[in-house]
Amino acid sequence: MAKVLVIGGNFAGLTAALETRRRLHDKSHDITVISMKDHFLYVPSLIWVPFKEREIDDIVVPIEPVLRRHGVNFINETALKIDPFQSKVTTDKGNVFDYDYLVIATGPDLDLSLPGSDPALKNNTYIGTPAGALEIRQRFFDLLDNPGPVVVGAAPRAGCIGASYEFLFNIEYHLRRRGVRQKSPVVWVTPEPYLGHFGMNGVFGGSTSLKLFMNSRKIDYRVNAAIASIDKEKVTLESGEVIESALTMIMPPFLGQEVVRNSPGLGNEKGFIPVLPTYQHRDFSNIFAAGVAVDVPPFGTTPIPVGVPKTGFPAETEARIVAENISRVINGNHDLTGKPFGEIPGVCVMDAGHKEVLIYANHFARPRQFSVVLPNPTYNTTKRFLEKYFLWKARTGLARLP
């Protein structure tokens, strides 16, 4: 009997666990998920929470019942340390779990080294967590009573710039809808060398489309901009420019989770896992990784460092590769499948404030054979359909579906 341990229970972790279970026809193999959270969170919908278009309860699914129905064990504890030499994981409850195969799908921690970026200081609000989305809600409705400038953007090395764009367009839409937009100038600040770079060297037509949209919505913007500090009423750039702000949402860079950073020999200096195209650890063949936990170097250099987006579609793609490879090894087949991160397709539906933009590139990295940006100027239909679809998929545990 093989023991497969998965750390993390969101997109990558849930997919890896359920797909490994499905592919291992011998049910005597033990598959266990350890997660600090007892639920799946549909993170893309957090951008709607500040405007009361969603509540947190609308976008979460308890995962223990789903995993149990599919023959996967669930441990609601926080993994604190991994010993890759002894194949053991220690949790915050003092429990120690051994494994034959480990999947690290822990998602992101936040790099808050930028002065003033820690949400606890109340200078910057972060849209990527339920607590952050609810904090923005309070600040947004305070802004309606006392309108003022808004600054949205990303810090150098941020790897989820697309979500910042989505929040930008949503807050602009809701300020306009509530009649205070003229009193609330909106500024976009990004380390990207041009609009629509996204950490993947852009897609055909993306920069032009975003310029047109920014101009039509009267959103001022700064590209190639490095933020030096965030204060309660201003954002200071390294160029010396000071931008006044009554509400600031700057996307921080990601780190690997603390469990990796606490485990010598496992990750790099940022806590990300170096992997082969099979998503095996480069030094430990029985350890796999998927999602934000994977180390993906930038695709080329930019004047200001820009991180690579690793959430969503690539996370599920990697998790399926991991599940396939673990099942192959357990069944005695060492001919593993693989796909370098840069060859994974880039697929995204970006909310543009009750409008949407469909983005597709056949590879994350250049050279590409095809990429396209398709605006939908009527309504964000696809984005809302995907939310319902992925929540349904999480509730049913049908991770095999695309």
Catalytic residue flag (residue 239): no
Alpha helices in 25-117 (DSSP H): 64-69
Q: What residues contact 156, with CB distance under 8 A and at least 6 apart?
A: 114, 191, 226, 227, 253, 304, 305, 306
In order of 44, 69, 374, the CA distances from 350 in angstroms are 9, 33, 10
Please report which helix (H) or strand (E) contains residue 227, including its range. strand 227-231
Tokens standing for residue 62: 């308890």
Pairwise CA distance, residues 71 & 8, whole Å: 17
Catalytic residue among 17, 160, 289, 292: 160
Six-digit token string for 54: 């969603």
DSSP letter string, 300-330: S--SS--PPP-SSHHHHHHHHHHHHHHHHHH
In this structure, how many other beta carbons lie within 10 angstroms of the beta carbon of residue 95?
Answer: 12
Looking up tokens 């996204």 gives: 198
Cα separations (Å) of 72 from 18, 218, 230, 247, 318? 7, 51, 44, 43, 20
User: Residue for token digits 């026809």?
Assistant: 25
Give which of 68, 5, 80 is closest to 38, Cα–Cα: 68
- Distance, CA of 370 to CA of 357 (rounded, Å): 17
Rounded Cα gap, residues 351 and 44, in angstroms: 9
Among 24, 348, 394, 399, the active-site one is 348
Token duo for residue 108? 């992101």
Amino acid identity, position 11: F
Indicate if 154 belongs to the active site: no
Q: d(Cα 16, Cα 22) in Å, to the nearest integer?
A: 10
Closest C-alpha to 210, from 231, 188, 225, 232: 188
Give CA torsion, residues 364, 162, 60, 140, to 10 deg: 180
Give the residue numbers annotated as catalytic, written as ranges. 160, 348
